[in-house]
Amino acid sequence: MTDRNNSTTTTAVVTTTNTSAAKPIWMKQAEEAKLKSEAENTAAAKAAFDATFKVLSDKAEKAVDSDSEEEDAEKDLANKPVGPVDPGKCTAAGAGIAGGTACAPATFVVVTKDADGRKVPNGGAVIRVRVSPGVGVGGTEQEGVVKDMGDGTYTVTYVVPKRGNYMVTIECNGKAIMGSPFPVFFSAGVYIYGYGILCFFC
């Protein structure tokens, strides 16, 4: 009686052990696929993480490189002598470059600069200014009076005889400066003669 119960218990234990040890093939494949998928996801996440930080690192390196390149360029420019004059970089400024009143002197200043946009510290450039009347104004082209100030700037004075639109062409060493020719407008002016005043609207 006792032996029969013991043998039944033993058999039950063996059966349970065999059932847990022998998994179906589809279950093994599912577990392997799950492990493989997790490994791939982990690898992809790591690759994305590395790529992100590589891009940020590259940008930081480029920023440092560009900063050092700019500093080098500034140092080179500081050591580079100013000149020669580049007409395309020269500028004109002053009231006379916008217009004024007919019959009254109009004045402006031409500033000579080199190819790097730095003001040339000495004179000697050939500045020519031509003032041409616009359509319907009449008259002939005239030259402006140019004074070399000896410091890289040139004072220009000109007078137009009557009201209207004009074009002011400025050349440095035979080439147009930046912005030339300049359109200008002159309002009516007044002539004054002798001790009496004679008004003449141009």
- Given a contact cutoff of 8 angstroms between Cβ atoms, the answer to whether 114 and 83 are in contact is yes
Residue 180 and residue 156 in contact, taking contact as beta carbons nearer than 8 Å: no
pLDDT in tens, 169-188: 999 999 999 999 999 999 98
70-84 confidence digits (pLDDT tens) = 776 677 777 889 889
pTM: 0.59
DSSP 125-187: --EEEEEEE-TTT-S--EEPEEEE-SSSEEEEEE--SSSEEEEEEEEETTEE-TTPSEEEEEE
Output phi, psi for 164, to 5 deg: 145, -175
